[in-house]
Amino acid sequence: MNRRQTLLIAKYSTRYSVRGGIGLIFLLLSLTFGLVVAHTMLQPVEMAVKEITKDNPEADKQEITELVLDEMVTFAKPVVSWMVSDSNDADDVDAKRSADDWAGYLLEEQPAVLSAIFLILLFGWPFLIAFGAFDIYAGDIGSRQLRYQLLRVDRGSIFMGRLLGILTTFALVLMLLGLTVVVYMGAKLPMYTWGSLFSWAAQGVAAILWVSLPYVALCAWVSASFGSSFGSLTICSLIIGGVPLFATIGKLTHDAAGYLLYVLPWGFQTKLLHHDWSQVALAGGLCLGQAALFTWLGYRKFTRRDL
Amino acid sequence: MSEGKRPGGLTALAVLNFVFGGFGVLALLALVALMAFIGVMADSGEEGQEAAREVAKAWEEAGLGVFYAMIAVSAISTILQIASGVGYLKQKKFLGRTLGNAYAVTAVIGSLIPALMLASPEVGGGFQIGTLVGLIYPILTLILLNTTFKHDFIN
């Protein structure tokens, strides 16, 4: 594998991802999804503030916004606590306390609306990844166009270069999305300081990007294994969506089926937004481990298969 | 770039233009239906339709000029969007790139009219994050036609 060639392929892969069409669809889907999530979270706050301001025209708008957000946090805290809890056992006091602390950190110590947006994005983003990364190699394998590149560059550089290119595209899209949401929130919700918004958004964007690593690596493995873009998209979507589906259904009859979630980051990805840094490091390490495994499997397949 | 070969992104952009153009036609019909709704509400004496009344009142306050301007801009934008979709597929300079740019500018103006000229959110007024959602596609079109696909309109 040649480092210079890898970086060159990554650069062109990022630059031309939109030209190919798939990058364009991914860009449009991800920006729309992200902004719709932000819209869904922000609209109730804006509507409630408007209603109260209409009844009390003299009242300070910032104070009203703070009051509305406080009410919403009180209402949402048990729900978020339940969402992030590791245990379904209602008598497990330690797990409940830990989940309550975590929910408190997300909703009270950090900008609550931004936390809610990131929790939903963390859940929905893996599904979008399949649409952005399914065709890293599959289309060119199917059309046999990779043979022309193989005259000048080795298979390892093509594999790693394209993988790096798609990750760069994801990072750029996520940064654009994070910036748009933060600027809008900073302008509309003045009780949050720009510093707190930007630092939490940076952490949230980094968490989503980090969680993307194993999913993208999985898509790269699938894409390297199939000579059909459509087949690759179908398999990627089925695996990414099927894991939580089977885990949820299986858990109804066997508790152990819940561990199926850990085949992909579904079981621990929200821990990347945990208040305890050891939990963040553990979740980050697991993501990295899975990414390394899937990348190795994909690399192995791509470098040995008939192209 | 190979001469004459249409990039996949441009085809995707054309398909999206047709899809969003279709939605634009439906939105236009809905806007015209709203006009009739305002008239009915003005004459209606029934009670218990407070939300609907607020919408009608907000439109009356904004003035019919804004309403007609919105319909006109939406209609022009939708026509340009569908026509430029054909232009993208045929890689035509005027029908594709020029009309595509014209569509994008018109759509941006169309999104900003309610945001800047209407005060009430009931009728889509005020700058909301929903306005940004509406701006994504026209701004992307404007950027892509003048950078990524700049040299692909060869006919």
> Please, what sign has the CA dihedral across residues A251, A75, A78, A189?
positive
pLDDT of B42 strictly over 60: no
The whole-angstrom separation of Cα A136 and Cα A223 is 6
Instruction: Please report, to the nearest 10 degrees, the dihedral formed by the alpha carbons of residues A140, A141, A142, A143 taken in order.
Output: 50
**pLDDT the model gives residue B132:** 79
**pLDDT the model gives residue B142:** 92
| Contact across the interface for A22 and B140, Cβ inside 8 Å | no
Q: Which residue in the set B9, B129, B133 is minimally distant from A19, CB to CB?
A: B9
**pLDDT the model gives residue A101:** 86
The encoded tokens of residue B52 equal 């609907």
Does the beta carbon of B63 lie under 8 angstroms from any beta carbon of chain A?
no
Residues of A in contact with B130 (CB under 8 A): 39, 43
* Size of the A and B interface in Cβ pairs below 8 Å: 56
pLDDT of B153 strictly over 60: yes
Distinct helix (H) and strand (E) counts, chain B: 5, 0
The whole-angstrom separation of Cα B34 and Cα A224 is 52
Smallest CA–CA distance, residue A14 to chain B, in Å, is 12
Give the whole-number percent of chain A exceeding pLDDT 90: 37
pLDDT tens figures, A188-197: 777 788 888 8
Interface with B, mutate which of A12, A24, A39 (most B CBs under 10 A): A24
Q: Which residue in the set B12, B129, B132 is minimally distant from A24, CB to CB?
A: B12
Smallest CA–CA distance, residue A32 to chain B, in Å, is 6
Residues of A in contact with B9 (CB under 8 A): 18-21, 23-24
Contact call for residues B88 and B14 (beta carbons, < 8 A): yes
pLDDT of A223 strictly over 90: yes
Does the beta carbon of B52 lie under 8 angstroms from any beta carbon of chain A?
no
Q: Which residue in the set A25, A38, A184 is minimally distant from B12, CB to CB?
A: A25
ipTM above 0.85, yes or no: no
| Contact across the interface for A43 and B137, Cβ inside 8 Å | no
User: For residue B40, how many other CB atoms are within 10 A of its CB?
Assistant: 10
Three-class DSSP labels, A38-78: HHHHHHHHHHHHHHHHHHCCCCCHHHHHHHHHHHHHHHHHH
pLDDT tens figures, B130-146: 777 788 889 989 998 99
> Please, what sign has the CA dihedral across residues B24, B37, B50, B60?
positive
Give the whole-number percent of chain A exceeding pLDDT 70: 98
pTM reported for the whole predicted model = 0.83
Does the beta carbon of A237 lie under 8 angstroms from any beta carbon of chain B?
no
Does the beta carbon of B132 lie under 8 angstroms from any beta carbon of chain A?
yes
pLDDT of A306 strictly over 70: yes
**pLDDT the model gives residue B126:** 66
Residues of A in contact with B13 (CB under 8 A): 24
The whole-angstrom separation of Cα A224 and Cα A137 is 6
Within chain B, where are the H helices? Answer: 8-43, 50-62, 64-90, 99-117, 129-146
Distinct helix (H) and strand (E) counts, chain A: 11, 0
* Coarse DSSP helix, strand, coil percentages of chain A, rounded to the nearest 5 percent: 85, 0, 15
Residues of A in contact with B11 (CB under 8 A): 21
> Please, what sign has the CA dihedral across residues A261, A264, A270, A275?
positive
**pLDDT the model gives residue B1:** 44
Interface with A, mutate which of B19, B129, B140, B143 (most A CBs under 10 A): B129
- Nearest residue in chain A measured CA to CA from B152: A19
Residues of A in contact with B150 (CB under 8 A): none
**pLDDT the model gives residue B2:** 45
Contact call for residues A111 and A186 (beta carbons, < 8 A): no
The whole-angstrom separation of Cα B60 and Cα B51 is 14
**pLDDT the model gives residue B60:** 67
Section A49-64 average pLDDT: 78
The whole-angstrom separation of Cα B150 and Cα B142 is 10
| Contact across the interface for B8 and A21, Cβ inside 8 Å | yes
Residues of B in contact with A32 (CB under 8 A): 133, 136
The whole-angstrom separation of Cα B119 and Cα B127 is 9
pLDDT of A88 strictly over 70: no
The encoded tokens of residue A75 equal 């209402």
Does the beta carbon of B42 lie under 8 angstroms from any beta carbon of chain A?
no
pLDDT tens figures, A138-170: 888 888 888 888 888 899 999 999 999 999 999
pLDDT tens figures, A202-215: 999 999 999 999 99
The whole-angstrom separation of Cα A272 and Cα A262 is 14
pLDDT tens figures, A97-134: 888 888 888 888 888 888 989 999 999 999 999 988 88
Residues of B in contact with A39 (CB under 8 A): 128-130, 133
- Range with the poorest average pLDDT among A54-58, A76-80, B134-138, B149-153: A54-58
pLDDT band at B118 (very low <50, low <70, confident <90, very high): low
- The total number of residues shown for chain A amounts to 307
